[in-house]
Amino acid sequence: MPCHETKYCPRCNAPFECKVGNVTECQCSGISFKDTEKDYIARRYADCLCRKCLLEIRHEMRVETFNEKLNQIFPPTQKQ
């Protein structure tokens, strides 16, 4: 029997239904993460996050990675 429970996102405190007993129907299903993103989330949160926060974290990390690579190619100019 699937186990469903209402949880509160530790990042934004929004309620969501966790379907750990039926992960293919869970709100987090279908979101893919790079290993570095998974590690980041696991180090900061001990429980499930809502879909909105998972997507926001993934987006923020990918923008940060993009900006870091961009700065390697085109270093910011320093004022003298």
According to DSSP, the residues that pair with 5 across neighbouring strands are 18
Q: Which domain holds residue 42?
A: 5-73
Residue type at 37 in one-letter notation: E
Q: Can you give the pLDDT at residue 78?
A: 63
Condensed to tens digits (0 to 9), the pLDDT of residues 27-55 reads 989 999 999 999 999 999 999 999 999 99
Q: Is the overall model pTM greater than 0.75, yes or no?
A: yes
The answer to whether residue 79 is domain-embedded is no
CB burial of residue 50 (10 Å; 0-12, 13-18, 19+): buried
Residue 80 in any domain: the answer is no
78: in domain = no
Count up the domains in the chain and report the number: 1
Residue 65 lies in a domain: yes
Q: Could you tell me the pLDDT band of residue 3, with boundaries at 50, 70 and 90?
A: low
